[in-house]
Structure 1
Amino acid sequence: MLDLQPPALDPTRGVRLLRSVYRPDFRSRNAEIQNRDSWKFERRQHFEEQNDPSRDALTRGDWNEALRLLEEERDDIRQAVRADAGRGSVFHRVRIVEEPLTPYVQWELHALRIQAECGRRIRVVRAERVSPLESGGPLPEVVVLGGATLYDIAYTDEGVPDGATRYEDPDVVQGWEAFIARLYADGEDVRSYVERSVAHLPPPQLSMGAGD
């Protein structure tokens, strides 16, 4: 069991941002980061990605096309990694996985492997590692930008993005940063995890009318 727990996120201590506000707020603050790293903690096992051709192909059941379209994103990913490096910033990501994998996570892990091959720092942690901390429900989806801003990202029950709550309390931000960094240190590189546990799997089978 982890000997480190993240601070509770009290919505009354944050600022609720609609999706139309959250995205430009995130981009603006991320662009200002200099010589500080950022961290993402991803817990949900299903999301409804929007405006993503590869995700759309997965939804149609065209697995080969979904993978082909992921490959086409390499140049854009490398460019983003170089931009981060130019600001002295590294974006780390921790992906919690439950097995058997949902169709979404199986697809996303292929996407994350490509990102890692292009220079992203991404590690996988099994759900059993954090489950002792979830007696009150799953941990939230969190991004910590540059040690100064934390976003508790909101989703609908169906997994559609629904804005975020922004926190700037140093104790909350730094507590979550330390928590994610600890998980990252204990995690497995996404490339080796995919090679061992994902690459050999058959195409995911989606339920009719459902994403997972």
Structure 2
Amino acid sequence: MISDVPTLPAIELNREDYLADFWRCFQRLKGDFWKLERGQTFREPEEPSWVALDQGDWRRAIALIDQRTEEIKRPVEEAARHVSMHRLRIVERPYSPYLRWELYYIRLRALAGEDIRVLDADKIRHLEHDRMLPELVVLGEEVMYQVLYDQSGTLRGARRIEDRERVAACAKEISDLHEKAEGIRDFLKREPSALPPPLKRELGALPPV
């Protein structure tokens, strides 16, 4: 089902409308939040740490994340009081710079209560006959967004899907894949090559949080 999402009827939203619609629905959510991330490289020009990464300054990129540890964790801790938050991050080798940066960043969300798991792309190849799996955000069983990016990897909007039966089916399929995946903290301990280069070369481990 998730491989067919791009063909489902949907309301297309631009970036601003998608973000506003998402937060409005998320604030009312009482069930499960699911996020499926498939792409290996994106642009986040509004994030200072990503800008440092884009400039090739890994040390500054890491430092900026470390400085914001509590700021990154706090909203997740608050949301986790009323929402079960789950994320499935698909990864491919060799790990892209963006992916290594993102994994370092979102591990803080895992520490704050988001159930983040990592799955090798080889495990989902059978679902990608004609195209890669879409980037998905599912809120309960009522609404799902296929998140859209431009050719540079910058967020440009989303397709809002409201067919409850199909939304529920996609949530179930993501959940099934999630069950087969590995927790992000265990993954990073096992796969030091997925860490930012300075940590891999000099520390070989995550800093304490």
Q: Which residue of 2 aligns with 1:113?
A: 107
- Determine if the alignment matches structure 1 residue 47 to structure 2 residue 42: yes
Q: Deviations over 1:94-131 (max 9, x none)?
A: 00000110111011111122221222210000000111
Q: Higher helix fraction: Structure 1 or Structure 2?
A: 2
- Determine if the alignment matches structure 1 residue 38 to structure 2 residue 33: yes
Within a 5 Å distance, the mapping from 1:89-168 to structure 2 comes to 89-168=83-162
Q: SS of the counterpart of 1:17?
A: strand
Q: Which residue of 2 aligns with 1:207?
A: none
Of 183, 187, 190 in structure 1, the residue corresponding to residue 181 of structure 2 is 187
Q: SS of the counterpart of 1:51?
A: coil
Q: CA deviation at 1:74?
A: 2.2
Q: Deviations over 1:161-208 (max 9, x none)?
A: 11000001012201110011111111100111112213666359xxxx
TM-score by length of 2: 0.88
Q: 1:18 to 1:115 in 2, by over 3 A?
A: same
Letter in 1 for 2:90: I
Aligned residues: 198
TM-score by length of 1: 0.87
Distance in 1, Cα, partners of 2:113 & 2:71: 12
RMSD: 1.8
Of 161, 168, 171 in structure 1, the residue corresponding to residue 165 of structure 2 is 171
Letter in 2 for 1:148: E
Distance in 2, Cα, partners of 1:112 & 1:82: 13
- Determine if the alignment matches structure 1 residue 60 to structure 2 residue 34: no
Of 61, 66, 69 in structure 1, the residue corresponding to residue 64 of structure 2 is 69
Identity of aligned residues (%): 35
Q: SS of the counterpart of 1:137?
A: coil
Distance in 1, Cα, partners of 2:90 & 2:142: 24
Contact kept, 8 Å, 2:90 with 2:120, in 1: the verdict is yes
Distance in 2, Cα, partners of 1:73 & 1:187: 28
Q: 1:10 to 1:137 in 2, by over 3 A?
A: closer
Q: CA deviation at 1:79?
A: 2.1
Distance in 2, Cα, partners of 1:10 & 1:128: 21
**Which 4+ runs in 1 deviate beyond 4 A?**
none
Distance in 2, Cα, partners of 1:116 & 1:20: 27
Letter in 1 for 2:88: V
